[in-house]
Amino acid sequence: MSDTPRIHLGSLLRASEDAHAEGELTELTYEQGGATQTLTFTEPAWYEVDINSLSNDEMYLQGQFSPTLVMECARCLRDVAVPLDLTLGTLMRYEPSADAPYLEEAESGEDVLVFGDPDLDLSAYLAETTVLAAPLSVLHAPDCKGLCQVCGHDLNEGPCEHMAQVPVEEIDDHLGVPEGSAHAKQNPFAALKDLDFPEE
């Protein structure tokens, strides 16, 4: 199971000793705007983090994180696996008064990870880095047909009675289509063959 990704920075802060942490994550839970968010991965995602002291309260984090993120297809909402390969590199600053760790933009424009607890929880940092690297939206296939706007049927699995391919005047005739005819067909055109077009 997934543990919280933590790195212990007590001896780094006391004696400038380098710190290292590694492990696997099947998900990342973090707080955002008062709500708990979860990123889910298709398989345990490896992370490795090294932190080196730069000065009394500044340090540099380097590492790797390779999650395969579960996202929703923007059209049909089914799960899509999005593999990411992240190279981590971030300045850090220890501020005992800081509550939860957060990213702050430095004058240089670089992000600085500010933290107050030497037992540093990397969840929010890894989650934010993952979200920034992930595409805004994905399709499970380039030609995803999406969901019917009327009934929510997944049109990749076949047509429903609302499909635009069925002329509007036919819709009423086919609302009573028997179970398992239109919806069971994988090929959207297979169902059209079964429609009883008026003889005249």
For Zn ion, the binding residues (CB under 5 A) are 73, 75-76, 140, 144, 148, 150-151, 153, 160, 162
State the nearest-atom distance from the C-beta of 50 to Zn ion, in Å: 39
**C-beta closer to Zn ion: residue 128 or 154:** 154
**C-beta closer to Zn ion: residue 107 or 143:** 143
State the nearest-atom distance from the C-beta of 69 to Zn ion, in Å: 16
**C-beta closer to Zn ion: residue 100 or 150:** 150
What 3-state DSSP class applies to 194? helix
State the nearest-atom distance from the C-beta of 67 to Zn ion, in Å: 21
Give the end-to-end CA distance of the chain in Å, rounded to a whole number.
65
For residues 36-54, one letter each, b for 16 or more C-beta atoms within 10 angstroms of the residue's C-beta and e for the rest, the string is eeebebeeebebebbbebe
**C-beta closer to Zn ion: residue 120 or 160:** 160
State the nearest-atom distance from the C-beta of 78 to Zn ion, in Å: 5
- Tokens at 100, concatenated: 């939860």
Per-residue HEC secondary structure of 126-166 comes to HHHHHHHHCCCCECCCCCCCCECCCCCCEHHHCCCCCCCCC
Q: Yes or no: say if 88 and 64 are a contact pair by the CB < 8 Å rule.
A: yes
**C-beta closer to Zn ion: residue 93 or 162:** 162
> Rounded to the nearest 5 degrees, what angle is found at the Cα of 100, between the Cα atoms of 97 and 102?
100
State the nearest-atom distance from the C-beta of 52 to Zn ion, in Å: 44
